[in-house]
Structures are given as structure tokens and as C-alpha cells.
Chains A and B, each alone.
Chain A
């Protein structure tokens, strides 16, 4: 009588647990549905795929620190990630991912086929600096006919090696738009002051042939007649012994190799660079103000001296002590040049490019500068961010660069899924073979766990941008065996109990009591393994660890909320409870008859346990 009432309760309990699980599944897919309807960006009904399955390019960047310079810290890497993310976003690539790898490396994953420009922009130096403009000209590289094929490492990379038609100058008729800003001190100059220069390099440098004398200051035109630094010769742009004036002539704004050479030029030497549009090129003096001396950069509405808004957007710069002095020295000198002359300007340089060339109205010695010009609020903010975030003391080099074709990924996924399906079928066949009808419980549990896993992976794709990679798919396939493992631990325990002579109903419960701790501790161990892997490892290892951890959690959920209640309910059916031949619980086949007859020892233990702990 007592047994029956308890049985009834546990029966109802099992049903309500199953109902709760059903609710959970409904909620999970409700979440997926909601994410497809409301989430931003919109969710989808299938898991997000990783780069290796979707196709695309993955690049690992490592910061390059000059010898003797300070070590890279994590804050700097985070800022670098921001900059690179901005660069990638700026190229209009959706869904690109920029993440850190370890303490210092950065991984950029771009789906599809990103352009070459975009790729080369990633690894570019982020270091920002100020240089004084010595002269400015439009981009019309003069094809140089060198007397003989130069003995440089990369002759093919030399733009001027071909005929003159290859080095097509960019729109040379339009006035340069490089100079669109100014440091207002006494008054605000609202309009940009483009400096149209004749297409011939009419820089004062040509008229001062006094090459032997040393330049007096960074704006000195004598720099033009100095011999170029070694990196230009190495890059194959000019020959040994050429001057910066020569370099200015042949420099081609459209050549990325040349630009790379510009970004790696020594700081104490002049340099030739183009503006962002590639239409104006500049001869610039040595670095005067380093970007890392900028303590803050913000953008906001431009104001005049009286603090009234003038309608434009201005950028506010703050320098630290070192920067304050350097910037003050530079602007004091530049303000001495005639307004609108190139030498009145200072150039803000990022990645071998002139970001802005700014006229200087007055010496700025208080360490706070305002830049006004034709900025829109968004372009102003972008420049401010570049100024603020661009101040990284290192650039990057490529560690890895993988191009993954989408066909390959699809192929891999397809075949991985086939393998998974085959694996699932094999597991099902084996469990039916070993556990007869009980194997069906395994099948049902595996199916439920597959459904939950699919929902969880899909939902996480939307919420956490979790992407399924090949390693992740493998993790899921491997998890089939692991999930089935816990059923086996349970079933074997139940069988043990049946062997000890217990009726099935009791065996299911007492077997569960003992199997539960084993399943929990093994899953805890497994989860621990995946958690450690997830925290400490990188990229595709992380994906694998994540799926493994996820399936471990789902495994516990399934065993607790599906397999056990289901088995409890089934144990009450005539087929299972009666120990039908095909039920997997046939006491005769499990040798229980023999044991009850002769193995009194075992039965005694079971009985004693029952008396002690009331586990039956």
C-alpha cells in the first residue's frame, strides 16, 4: 500500500519533470524565434558558422616592438583591437571579427574575400606622429629611367621600372584636398585652405642647392637635398645617393609598397607621404611630436574665442608635458611662416599617410590645441578617435594569413555532418544490440539532446556571436559518445540492481541513486577540462572547448530531466517492468534468477542497504 502511493507520487513527479523539460525546449526555441524577429542584428534559425566553414580570411597579427622599447601591455592590445576593428568596419565588411589571441596577438577574421587594400591596412603601423611640412605637390610621380636595372631585392615591386604609362598620375588637375584643417588660435578659419600648387615640383628646395650644410630645423628646406635613408633604397623606390627631392618626384601615392616604406622610415629623417586621397604628396621633416604624447582627443561643436558655437566641428587635443613642449616648439616655428604656404603646415601622420595637414595660425604652448576645418561631426569624431587611439607605440606584423575557400568549408561541414549521422546510427545500433528496447531510450535521449544542442548553439550564435567551426562540429560529434556514456553508466547500474534480485521498479530508483553521483562527478571533470581549455586556449581550441562544455551541461540536463524520468515511467509498463525478453531488463538473462537462488550474499547486501538507507 505504502509502496503504491509512493510509486504514484514518483510517477507524477516524473511526468512533471518531463513537462518542465518540454517547457525549457519550447522556451529555447521561443528565444531563437524571438531573436530572428527582434534581435539586432537579426538572429537566424541555423547556427552561425565559423570562418573555416563559411570561407574567408583569417589573419593573426603580432605587435612589433622596437628593441629596448617597453613591453606591450594588455590595455594597448585592447586599443589596437579597437583600431583594427574600426579599420575593418571602415572598409564596409560586415561580420568581421577582431579578437585578441593570448596577451599580445590579434586575430582578424573576415568572411568572404576581403580586398587587398583592406588586408594591407590591417597590419599597418598604428603609430601616430606630427611632422612639419616642408613642401607639397600633387601626385604626379615622374617615371624614372634608371641607367641600369637596379640591384634591389624586389625588382617587380618597383612601380617605376615599367614604362611611363604604368605610373598613371591621379587626377592632377584638381586642387589638392589634403589640407583641410587649421589650428585656430586667434581666430577660426572656417573654410579649408587648399594649396593649389603647380604640377611641377616648385618647391623651394630646388632653388637651394646648398646640399652640404645641415638643416637647421625640421622645416628647413635643406632637408630636400639630403641623401635618402636606407629604407627607401631597400624598398627599390630610389637609388643610393638620391636626395629627398628626388624621392618626392618619383613617389607614387598609388603604390602600397612605397607607402609601406614611408611608414617604416626613421623618425629622425624626413619622409615623403601622400594624403588619404592619394592626390597630394608632401615632403615632411623629422618627427617632432609623437602620438603617444596626446593624452586626450575629443571632437565637438566648434566655438570661437567668445565660446560661441560657429556651426562647424572642431577637434580638441590635449598633450602631456612632453608633448606640450614639443608641440609648442613646432607651432611657434610654423606660425612664423606665411599663412597658406606649405611650410606653415604640420602633418598628422598615421600608417605612412598624412591624415591631415594643418595650417598654423599661432604658437600653441598650453598643450591644448583645437583643430577646425571642414569636419562633419562624424568625420571629426573619427579623426579624434584616430588621434586618441592611433597613439600606439607599435605596429604589427602578420603571423598567419589563411585564406579558406567557402567550398572547402561547406564540403567539410557536409562531410562532418555525414560522419556525425553515421556515428549516431552506429551508436544507436550498438545500444539496441546491447540494451534491446532500452536502446530506444538512448535513441530518444540522444535526439532530445541533439534538439537542445541545436537550439542552444543557434541562440548563442545570435546572443554571443558564437560560431560553429569545424573543431566545434567535431566536438559535437564526439559528444554523442560522451552523452551515450552516461546512459550506459545508468543502465548498467540498473542492471546491476536487477542482477542483485531487485524488481525493476526498485532497481531503476536505486540504480539511479548510485549512477547519479558517478554521472555528476564525471561530468564535472569533463566540464572542468573544457573550462580550463576554454579559458587558456585560443581560437579554434576555444570553439572545441566551448561545444564540449556546452554538451556536458546538456548531458546532465538530459540524464536528469529526460532519461531518468522516462525510465521511471517505463519501469511501470508491463513490457519493461515485467522484464520482457526484449526490454533489456530480462532478469533471467541478467542472471537474477540464479542469484536469488544461490547468491544470498548479494541479496543480503541489497537488503541490508535497504534497511539502512531506505534506498529501495
Chain B
């Protein structure tokens, strides 16, 4: 606990820095591998669309006392009621729930659905009110999918405009959007690989991930903007370093918000899994859980490095890098002069010198500058600045 606070302090002041930006190729490679895996899942294995998308019928008998031979009993009941028992999937959920799924129940009409529901209630000795029946025509899923894709496109379009206006650079907007798409694709890939069923509730979850992922990215980008603004003003560190410093300074916040975001969802997930079985609650929380975790990762490891790559070619960024380099070279010589202890591991990553050493260097330079007033090269040095 204390060490976590200390860790946060160190990241904030710069005593310890993690080189997020410098190792960006590593993160890109990791993400690329993950995305390829996700793609093989999506295009190879395919997505497991739920009943809502494929059309069909599902009946759930709840609170069954005697579940012995439930599968043959259910099968017989369906055959008696509709005349056919083709393609029936009969499963037991928990101790007392029986689920019957099929692509087509009898003649595939809602009326047949009701008939079977009544028959099942009789067979398993429960009140007809305890039988949940669902009948979905095959074109239903198309409507939902079309709508979801429509909202996705609209959301991304509006979002990029809002972010571009807020951050006053379309590159931040683009980086954020790429990160979001990364999250979305990755989450869908996990679904494909694990074979989780995709229901309309899952689709809601996917769409909500967008908001979450963006939220996280926005908070980090806000700090990036602040730090780079400062870097432009002082010329002490280049864009990459300023951005890396920003990520380091917000990483504790990222961890805290992610944990706090995940906690209630984890609770829903556990309660849903152990007590409810498949349903809106479970579908939604599962996709959110995966999405938020992936979103936190992408904000730190993908969005910010991408941003620095996007801006690297800009003249003002190059100019800043040149200025920062000059400053850091002179500072380094000052540090050597002051004979401070060895540099920390993250010093070059964020351009933040450990406070103690910086103070020593400043002191050294103060004395050195005094000496230089009489030194023949003093004029040259000043010109450089």
C-alpha cells in the first residue's frame, strides 16, 4: 500500500519512469500479434451468434423439482406437441432450470412455441408462468446488427470531430479512434476465440466499450496536452518525453479508475455467472469487463505512442526535439560536472532528472556559469542558448 503510493509519487515526480513511448515498437508488435490472433478468431472460427441473430426458439423451464432424464423427457414432450424433435439442444442450467433451444420449433411459428411451452410446463410439473419462451424470426438480427453498425459509424464520426475540436489537433482524435477500434476488434476477437455467444446485450456492451475506452484515452491525452504545452514553453524535453511523462503521471490514476470501473462489473459477472446463468446481465458485463480491461491497455500502450508517431514529422515537433536535445546535452554536462550519482533508468525516457540530481546540477551550473563569465568561450555558450 505504502509502496503503491510511493510508486505513484515516484512516477509523478520522475524519480522512476517507465519507458512507454520508447518501447512503442514492442507494444505495437504485441498488439499486432493479438490482433492477428483476434482476426483468425473472427474470420476463422467465426462469431457465435445467439438465437436473436439466427432466428429460432428458446424455452426455459424454471424451478423444476425432478430433473431426472430431463433431456429425453423434454424431447418427448416437444415431439408430442409439434410432431418433430429435430435439432433440439436441451441443457440444464443450474440445479433446476431446463433450456430447450432449436432453430425451428414445429412449423416455426409463435403459436407452436406456446404449445410446446404449455406442454413442457405440464411435463415438468411447473406453472406455465415459470416457462420462459422466446421466438425470434430470422430477420430480427439483421435489424439489430444494421442499427449497431450505424450507431458505431455515427459515434466515431461525431467523436472524432468533438475530440479534434477539444484537443485542437486531428491527430489526437485519430490516435484515440484507432485505439478504440483496436479495443473493439480485440474484444470481438476474444468473443470469437472463446466462443462466447453474442446477444443483443453483448452488442450493447461492445458499443459501451467505445465510450469507456475513449474516456480513458481522453484523460491521458489531457495530461499529454498539458505536458507538451509546458515542453514547448520551456524546451526542456521533446514531445516523446513529454508524452511519456504524461502517461507515467497518469498511470496510477489509470490503474485506480480501471480497478474501480471493473469492480462493479466483476460483481455483476460473478453474481450473474453463479446465480443467473446466461442473460442480459451476464452478456453485458462480460463484454464490458473484457472491453474496459483492453481499453485501459490501449490508452496507455497504443493511443499515446501512436500520437507521438503521428506528430513526429511536424516541423514544430522537430524543432522542439532539437531544442530539448541541446538543453539535455548541456544539462548532462552539468550533471557530470556536479558529479551526481548515476542516472535513474527512466531519465532519458521522460527527460525528467531525479530531483536530487537536478538540484545538484543546478547548483553546479550556477557555480559554473559564474566561472564562465571570465571564460573565453562564455559568449559562444550564451549564443547557443
Contact = CB atoms under 8 A, between A and B. Distances in A.
A480 B264 contact: yes
A528 B263 contact: no
A492 B288 contact: no
A525 B281 contact: no
A154 interface: yes
A594 B130 contact: no
Given A62-B139, A401-B113, A481-B261, A601 B271 contact: no
Chain A interface helix/strand/loop/mixed: helix
A469 B358 CA distance: 58
B2 to A, nearest CB: 7
A521 B166 contact: yes
Contacts of A59: 110
A406 interface: yes
Contacts of B257: 481, 484-485, 488-489
Interface in A189-224: none
Contacts of A403: 114, 117, 131-134
Interface in B115-157: 117, 129-137, 139-140, 143-144, 147-148, 150-151, 154-155
Contacts of B154: 532, 536
A22 B284 CA distance: 34
B218 A522 contact: yes
Contact of A419 (B62, B155, B256, B281): B281
A172 interface: no
Interface residues of B, number: 93
B129 A529 contact: no
B143 A538 contact: yes
Contacts of B288: 478
B200 interface: yes
A400 B1 CA distance: 53
Interface residues of A, number: 94
Interface in A394-420: 397-408, 411-412, 415-416, 418-420
A485 B129 contact: no
Given A405-B132, A481-B265, A529 B211 contact: yes
A598 B211 CA distance: 41
Contact of A541 (B12, B133, B204, B358): B204
Interface string A526-547: 1011101101111011001100
Interface of A: 52, 55, 59-60, 62, 101-102, 105, 113, 116, 119-120, 153-154, 397-408, 411-412, 415-416, 418-420, 422-424, 426-427, 430-431, 433-434, 469-471, 473-474, 477-478, 480-482, 484-485, 488-489, 492, 495-496, 499, 514, 517-518, 521-522, 524-526, 528-530, 532-533, 535-538, 540-541, 544-545, 548, 589-591, 594-595, 597-602, 605
B147 A538 contact: yes
Interface string B277-317: 00111001100100000000000000000000000000000
Contact of B158 (A102, A420, A495, A528): A528
B134 A398 contact: no
A525 B159 contact: yes
A418 B271 contact: yes
A532 B272 CA distance: 28
Nearest to B222: A518
B10 to A, nearest CB: 8
A602 B268 contact: no
A492 B144 contact: no
A426 B63 CA distance: 31
28 contacts: A105-B143, A113-B129, A400-B135, A402-B136, A405-B130, A408-B130, A412-B281, A415-B275, A416-B271, A418-B271, A422-B270, A423-B268, A424-B264, A426-B267, A471-B280, A477-B264, A478-B288, A481-B264, A514-B226, A521-B166, A522-B219, A525-B218, A529-B211, A536-B150, A537-B207, A540-B280, A589-B5, A602-B13
A116 B264 contact: no
Q: By CB atoms of chain A within 10 A, which of B158, B261, B263 has the most?
A: B263
A525 B214 contact: yes
B359 interface: yes
Contacts of A404: 132
Contacts of B264: 419-420, 422-424, 426-427, 477-478, 480-481
Q: By CB atoms of chain B within 10 A, which of A405, A480, A485 has the most?
A: A405
Nearest to B115: A156
Contacts of B135: 398, 400-402
Contacts of A416: 268, 271, 281
A532 to B, nearest CB: 4
Q: By CB atoms of chain B within 10 A, which of A406, A411, A525, A541 has the most?
A: A525
A492 B246 CA distance: 13
Interface in B238-270: 249-250, 252-253, 256-257, 259-268, 270
A412 B283 CA distance: 13
A118 B383 CA distance: 91
A518 B129 contact: no
A159 B140 CA distance: 33
Contacts of B88: none
